[in-house]
Structure 1
Amino acid sequence: MGSKCKMKGVANLLQTFIDNKSLLLGKVLHAHILRNNLLTNTFLCNRLIELYSKCNDSSSADRTFNYTPHKDIYSWNAILSSHCKAGNLNFAHKVFEQMPERNVVSWNNLISLMVKNGYQEKALDVYKLMVSEGFLPTHVTFASVLSACGSVLDLQLGKRCHGLVIKIGLDKNIFVCNGLLSVYAKCGVIRDAVQIFSDIDEPNEVTFTSMMGGLGSIDGVFEALEMFRMMCRKGVRIDSVSLSAVLTVCAKGGEYGESGCSADSDRLSCNVVLGEQVHGLAIKLGFENDLYFSNSLLDMYAKNGIMNSAEIVFHNLGKVSVVSWNIMIAGYGQKGNGGKAIECFERIQCCGFEPGEVTYINMLAACVKCGDVETARQMFDNMSCPSVISWNAMISGYSQNEDHIEAIDFFREMQFQSVKPDRTTVTVILGSCAGMDFLEGGKQVHAALQKAALHTDNYVASGLIGMYSKCGKTEIAGHIFSSLPMLDIVCWNSMIAGLTLNSLNNEAFMLFKQIQCGRMSPTEFSYATVLNCCTKLSSLFQGRQIHSQIVKDGYESDVFVGTALVDMYCKCGDIDEARKHFDMMPVRNVVTWNEMIHGYAQNGRGDEAVCLYEDMIASGVKPDCITFISVLTACSHSGLVDQGFRIFNSMRSEHGVDPELDHYTCIIDCLGRAGHFHDVELLMEQIPYKDDPVVWEVVLSCCRVHGNVSLAQRAAEELFWLDPESSTPYVLLANIYSSLGRWDDVRAIRELMSDKQIVKDPGYSWTEQKEQDTSLFVG
């Protein structure tokens, strides 16, 4: 009896040391157990292994396990748990394989360890083996397995787990429900996630955080924020993770629906305001020094482009991590501020941090964004073992800067280094091949893709369709399109754009109709492309039909679709309808303004074009070189010389836009049409484009209108020398002579054309055909 009491006292004392993680006292007690020959008691041995495991002394746990004379399943689970806690996956797996018998705890320990170490696929394989051997999962099992399903987006296994959960009666367990909700949310099946959420009697902070993350992933920003408000109303504990989830939603943006922030500019404003409110709440709750939350706050400000606020948060951080620096670098990169990004990169090293792969990728993206590919290359060369993402960043940088030869050379070097390209790599390279009309290179990439069985990947196939289309091989593009087993909307859009690019507008329009006949819904890009077809076909009737469909599908407020509509109505001659739609657009970018101004110019309504230009300036939109071409063209066509000259002179001084060839030709045309030839000759002495034939053609054309023979002869002589094969100067000069009745000079010009074998270019006109029901492609 005394021995049993003594044993119980030792066991109770040992439990106290385990609870308090008292390693030193535990070792003293271990010595006492040894002296009193109590190690023959398996229960005490198991508790000692647990003590060492809790105190992170895995070597002592191993020794105790090895000296345990009578190991039972609890001994094996204790040492397995010890290795799992220490993160020793190889040792844990070896212990698991050696176990004479296993129970659910054994399986749970191994699955949990694999998930924590990022081996989700292997963890799911172990789970499947566990079930096949007849073990019944517990709520602990499902917590790990569902986490793995969400990470690898394995919706099918998640659904099977859901069925088993209901079968064994765990569908009310909060941990399991949270796991299921997370799987459905991460896989984008929000309807099922909402159903699970509504069935939970007492949702906790994890439940709400998972729902907010899922809603944010599908741009349900308003709904995610409503979820946060509900969390607050229900009195659920708000932690740094839930606050970070809200900030992630604010960083992502999206449509706000009932919040009223549907436009891009309003959306940005809402993102920042809501993020600032969360910032204030975090300070109130005392989370401002939480590093996880602070990094989320940094990310929200950086992704919304509010770098001043991001800098304040960063400088107030009590503790800075590499993640914090990475966010700042990415933020500066997004704003195109490469200098600040480089400064951050240098400060990381000065502060004793080691830049990681993400740091370098962010730096590469920042340098590429601001066009500094050379610095990006230096960064890349300093990387010891760049991943495929880094290679892609460099190849994309060269491609975006239209240095396609360097991009292709870099792609070859990537292969020499045995780095396997992914779908992003080959799509960018196909774009470079198309950019330099390198059809043979594109074919080689195509052959390599067929060998690797990647050519049926829709993302890659879309790149192939684009490459062949841009190289003028629409038949091959059509064959790739037709042979794809499953077509997504990106492939349809690529094929339609390819046909439009090659002036096969009727075929592109018919292909668009096939999308409407199928189950797929057109996107903004689909509508913008098909509107371009209507514009090129000068088909106002079809353009109006497409407009009706756009309104029905809710894309009328999209800035790109809206701009395409304005362009279509302008170029099809319905300028009033174009202006009506322009005024209704909630958001306009500089391209939208340019299209409307250009529409007025092309339709001879120069006063309205100038007024609209002035409205654009007053609204704060910065004009670009295209803006000035449009408004100067309007002034030229409508004889608005003073306004044209004023706008031309304001380009550099007020707006920082240097005049280019097109701007000089516009203002010369404006002056020449009005008969201000003295000003034309003065301007011709100053411009840096005297050797460009286009300028002299404009001068010659203006001379024809006003019968200015002397300047016309000078312009013609310049053109004879600059562009000897062109018939334009001969025809224009002959027209001037004929209008003045100088028939001998007309005859001399025609004889000169005959002697030099110059042939006049034929004219042509447009006619609109009725709709046809034929198509080259079958979807």
Structure 2
Amino acid sequence: MKAKSMLRQSVDLLCSRSTATSEAYTQLVLECVRTNEINQAKRLQSHMEHHLFQPTDSFLHNQLLHLYAKFGKLRDAQNLFDKMLKRDIFSWNALLSAYAKSGSIQNLKATFDRMPFRDSVSYNTTIAGFSGNSCPQESLELFKRMQREGFEPTEYTIVSILNASAQLSDLRYGKQIHGSIIVRNFLGNVFIWNALTDMYAKCGEIEQARWLFDCLTKKNLVSWNLMISGYAKNGQPEKCIGLLHQMRLSGHMPDQVTMSTIIAAYCQCGRVDEARRVFSEFKEKDIVCWTAMMVGYAKNGREEDALLLFNEMLLEHIEPDSYTLSSVVSSCAKLASLHHGQAVHGKSILAGLNNNLLVSSALIDMYSKCGFIDDARSVFNLMPTRNVVSWNAMIVGCAQNGHDKDALELFENMLQQKFKPDNVTFIGILSACLHCNWIEQGQEYFDSITNQHGMTPTLDHYACMVNLLGRTGRIEQAVALIKNMAHDPDFLIWSTLLSICSTKGDIVNAEVAARHLFELDPTIAVPYIMLSNMYASMGRWKDVASVRNLMKSKNVKKFAGFSWIEIDNEVHRFTSEDRTHPESEDIYEKLNMLIGKLQEEGFTPNTNLVLHDVGEDEKFKSICFHSEKLALAFGLIKKPNGISPIRIIKNIRICNDCHEFMKFASRIIGRQIILRDSNRFHHFSTGKCSCNDNW
């Protein structure tokens, strides 16, 4: 602290003068670089520019450039580089480093291509930048170019390439690099040995990774952490724990990375409470540990606990990083908790991370899943750089919220800007076509996956096409597509077909789909219920009883459908015909009044959807008191005169009666109702729904 204080005083003194010598600037700039005092360095740069002081060579500028690059201060680096009169190879390499550290991949590639000269550092920086920013294919391609142009790879190059191979799970190429390591006699390098171990582990060759680890005589903390992480990623949490004991016996004390990996391994196999105990026992927790525990909660469906832990972390004065913020925002998205999402957005702005690629993409997803597509678009438009993840978040968000034409326009813009679509992109595009029944466009996009983009359609893409064909009345074409698939149909494909058949009343194909689903996983309740409901709608009560008996024999448990609504930052949850809420009496009174008003306007509850052999009165009660209707009534009680939309979340697909009810209600009460079900968003307004009755 004393040294930094003295440096600040020295900078103050120099900046108080109207002139200064080159030696004075040089001495202070070098001290700023040594102590990583970036703010004082910026003051010195500003003072030089104000007094029109231009160093006779590029030494000082390069020092400042490397400091800005080190901390990913992209704008500062760009501005300084643009002002430099003389640019040498060190200047260009520093700019490359700034782009790599800040994740600005497009600028990194463009700058590398326009450099007037390059050296091995240029290649290493760019290859590492691609590899470190999830662009492994670009990293490998540049490595091949580096070799063609006669530049010898260094240990840093090899580490980056092994990392890229690991990201691609490209074991064949990884083994080629292993061979070149032996030829170049790099095996004595612990960094390369660690990268090799990591590559084999991430490619699923965990035994080969362990063999390399055991041969490594100079194991360091990174070696142990990588091997523990390898076991965690290969689904062997018990071996993680065993290796942790060995690590301690060898004299290496676990650090935060070790513990975060152990926490993740426990969470991976569902032992979240055990992970929390490990987390609580570890005294010196850094941001990586906190984030690992939050992610573990979220992956096990405990998003509320993730948010509580985030607040606990803030109380401990631990500053979140981009990974923490993006994971917490994702938890808010799953809960559709706009209040918490906005609070985390505010925190990201204070931390200067709101424009980070990870955080921005998560925010787009969160606002989309809360039904605030305009806010999602604002975040997207303000992003200084984008990647395929951010494009996908915006495209899928538009498709989910009924902005299907916008989704397709975004896709065309994405292609024009030379971004390569991935599997998620086409899920969003095909979903947009599905929601609008655009069969010809959907078929064109599906065919383009292979014909134009050289990809193989995934099962998710096939499911979208099966859905699109079926919902437009082409069930036999959908069945033919399933039969001619390159993959074996999975649970998603058959459940999609069953859902279509249920909607269209095709009992023959429904029975075929249901039989496949019973074979694939006999413990999941949905196919039994759907088939039973179809039988019930046809009055085939014996078949209904047969399906229910089959469920009992397989010990299948039916999960409850429920809806929730957030009022004044508190979540209220309802099930069908729920009377557990403390304000139930008022809720039912409000709902009955609303039903009466809707009936006066022509709404008739569709009791044909009640698939039980009971009387008409019981059917009426059952259909009128579904969970989303109770949530709406509660929202109207708590927010009677508001103009803001009422937002409801439902964990399963909304039924036809509730969908019609919400359309009528939006017109009668003069308010927008936004309901998110398991399929998509429904924006009800003035008697219409954004899904055009297709969901």
Q: TM-score range by the shorter chain?
A: 0.5 to 0.7
Find the counterpart in structure 1 of residue 230 from structure 2: 432
Instruction: State the alpha-carbon separation in 2 of the partners of residues 492 and 199 from structure 1.
Output: 44
Find the counterpart in structure 1 of residue 440 from structure 2: 642
List aligned pairs for 1:307-322, cutoff 5 A: 309=113, 313-314=117-118
List aligned pairs for 1:291-440, cutoff 5 A: 294=89, 297=92, 300-301=95-96, 304-306=108-110, 309=113, 313-314=117-118, 324-325=119-120, 327-329=122-124, 331-332=126-127, 334-335=129-130, 336-338=138-140, 341=143, 344=146, 357=155, 361=159, 364=162, 371=170, 372-382=173-183, 383=185, 386-414=188-216, 418-422=217-221, 424-440=222-238
Instruction: State the alpha-carbon separation in 2 of the partners of residues 457 and 195 from structure 1.
Output: 40
TM-fit CA distance, 1:660: 0.8
TM-fit CA distance, 1:576: 4.1
Find the counterpart in structure 1 of residue 355 from structure 2: 557
Alignment CA distance shift 1:446-1:705 (3 Å)? same
Find the counterpart in structure 2 of residue 740 from structure 1: 538
- Is 1:539 aligned to residue 337 of structure 2? yes
Find the counterpart in structure 1 of residue 86 from structure 2: 281
Find the counterpart in structure 2 of residue 709 from structure 1: 507
Alignment CA distance shift 1:344-1:612 (3 Å)? closer
3-state DSSP of counterpart to 1:440? helix
3-state DSSP of counterpart to 1:520? coil
TM-fit CA distance, 1:393: 1.7
Instruction: State the alpha-carbon separation in 2 of the partners of residues 497 and 193 from structure 1.
Output: 45
Alignment CA distance shift 1:305-1:610 (3 Å)? closer
Note if contact 2:502-2:530 (Cα within 8 Å) is conserved in structure 1: yes
TM-fit CA distance, 1:670: 1.4
Instruction: State the alpha-carbon separation in 1 of the partners of residues 165 and 548 from structure 2.
Output: 57
Find the counterpart in structure 2 of residue 134 from structure 1: none
TM-fit CA distance, 1:629: 1.0
Q: Which runs of 5+ in 2 are unaligned?
A: 101-107, 131-137, 571-695
1:255 to 73, 79, 85: 73
Alignment CA distance shift 1:556-1:344 (3 Å)? closer
Amino acid at match of 2:475: F
List aligned pairs for 1:565-580, cutoff 5 A: 565-580=363-378
Amino acid at match of 2:117: V
- The answer to which of 721-730 and 486-495 deviates more is 721-730
Find the counterpart in structure 1 of residue 325 from structure 2: 527
Amino acid at match of 1:625: N
Note if contact 1:651-1:658 (Cα within 8 Å) is conserved in structure 2: yes
Alignment CA distance shift 1:722-1:367 (3 Å)? closer
Alignment CA distance shift 1:299-1:393 (3 Å)? farther
3-state DSSP of counterpart to 2:560? coil
Alignment CA distance shift 1:191-1:455 (3 Å)? farther
Alignment CA distance shift 1:337-1:605 (3 Å)? closer
Alignment CA distance shift 1:226-1:543 (3 Å)? same
Instruction: State the alpha-carbon separation in 1 of the partners of residues 56 and 127 from structure 2.
Output: 35
Note if contact 2:264-2:292 (Cα within 8 Å) is conserved in structure 1: yes
State the Cα deviation string for residues 695-738 of structure 1 (Å, max 9, x = none). 22211221111112333344345445555665544433333333
State the Cα deviation string for residues 472-513 of structure 1 (Å, max 9, x = none). 444444344434444433333333333333333333222222
Find the counterpart in structure 1 of residue 646 from structure 2: none
3-state DSSP of counterpart to 2:562? coil
Find the counterpart in structure 2 of residue 78 from structure 1: none
Note if contact 1:395-1:411 (Cα within 8 Å) is conserved in structure 2: yes
Select the structure that is richer in helix: 1
Instruction: State the alpha-carbon separation in 2 of the partners of residues 470 and 347 from structure 1.
Output: 45
Amino acid at match of 1:667: M
Find the counterpart in structure 2 of residue 88 from structure 1: none
Alignment CA distance shift 1:490-1:224 (3 Å)? farther
- Is 1:207 aligned to residue 207 of structure 2? no
TM-fit CA distance, 1:626: 0.5
Instruction: State the alpha-carbon separation in 1 of the partners of residues 164 and 341 from structure 2.
Output: 40
Instruction: State the alpha-carbon separation in 1 of the partners of residues 519 and 295 from structure 2.
Output: 40
Note if contact 1:671-1:680 (Cα within 8 Å) is conserved in structure 2: yes
TM-fit CA distance, 1:771: 7.2
Amino acid at match of 1:389: F
Note if contact 1:301-1:310 (Cα within 8 Å) is conserved in structure 2: no
List aligned pairs for 1:748-763, cutoff 5 A: 749-750=547-548, 757=554, 759=556, 761-763=558-560
Find the counterpart in structure 2 of residue 514 from structure 1: 312
Note if contact 2:93-2:125 (Cα within 8 Å) is conserved in structure 1: no
Instruction: State the alpha-carbon separation in 1 of the partners of residues 29 and 311 from structure 2.
Output: 42
Instruction: State the alpha-carbon separation in 2 of the partners of residues 558 and 581 from structure 1.
Output: 11
Note if contact 2:93-2:121 (Cα within 8 Å) is conserved in structure 1: no
State the Cα deviation string for residues 714-771 of structure 1 (Å, max 9, x = none). 43454455556655444333333332334455455556666x6463633332546897
Instruction: State the alpha-carbon separation in 1 of the partners of residues 47 and 35 from structure 2.
Output: 9
State the Cα deviation string for residues 2-29 of structure 1 (Å, max 9, x = none). xxxxxxxxxxxxxxxxxxxxxxxxxxxx
Instruction: State the alpha-carbon separation in 2 of the partners of residues 365 and 726 from structure 1.
Output: 39
3-state DSSP of counterpart to 1:281? coil
Give the structure, 1 or 2, with the largest relative contact order (CA under 8 Å, sep 6 or more). Answer: 2
Amino acid at match of 2:426: F
TM-fit CA distance, 1:357: 5.0
Instruction: State the alpha-carbon separation in 2 of the partners of residues 714 and 412 from structure 1.
Output: 52
Using structure 1 for the length normalisation, give the TM-score: 0.60
- The answer to which of 243-252 and 636-645 deviates more is 243-252
Note if contact 1:332-1:366 (Cα within 8 Å) is conserved in structure 2: no
Note if contact 2:459-2:489 (Cα within 8 Å) is conserved in structure 1: no
3-state DSSP of counterpart to 1:305? helix
3-state DSSP of counterpart to 1:238? coil
Note if contact 1:212-1:245 (Cα within 8 Å) is conserved in structure 2: no
- Is 1:238 aligned to residue 238 of structure 2? no
TM-fit CA distance, 1:609: 3.4
TM-fit CA distance, 1:686: 2.7
Instruction: State the alpha-carbon separation in 2 of the partners of residues 671 and 625 from structure 1.
Output: 20
Instruction: State the alpha-carbon separation in 2 of the partners of residues 620 and 220 from structure 1.
Output: 39
Rg (Cα) greater in structure: 1
Note if contact 2:332-2:338 (Cα within 8 Å) is conserved in structure 1: yes
1:669 to 467, 472, 478: 467
Amino acid at match of 1:646: E
3-state DSSP of counterpart to 2:493? helix
Q: Which runs of 5+ in 1 are unaligned?
A: 1-154, 163-183, 260-266, 283-292, 315-323, 773-779
Amino acid at match of 2:199: G
Alignment CA distance shift 1:474-1:726 (3 Å)? closer
Among all aligned residue pairs of Structure 1 and Structure 2, give the percentage whose two residues are the same amino acid: 27
Alignment CA distance shift 1:220-1:608 (3 Å)? farther
TM-fit CA distance, 1:191: 4.1
Note if contact 1:197-1:203 (Cα within 8 Å) is conserved in structure 2: no
Using structure 2 for the length normalisation, give the TM-score: 0.67
Select the structure that is richer in strand: 2
Note if contact 1:734-1:749 (Cα within 8 Å) is conserved in structure 2: yes
> Alignment length, in residue pairs?
546
Instruction: State the alpha-carbon separation in 2 of the partners of residues 582 and 547 from structure 1.
Output: 13
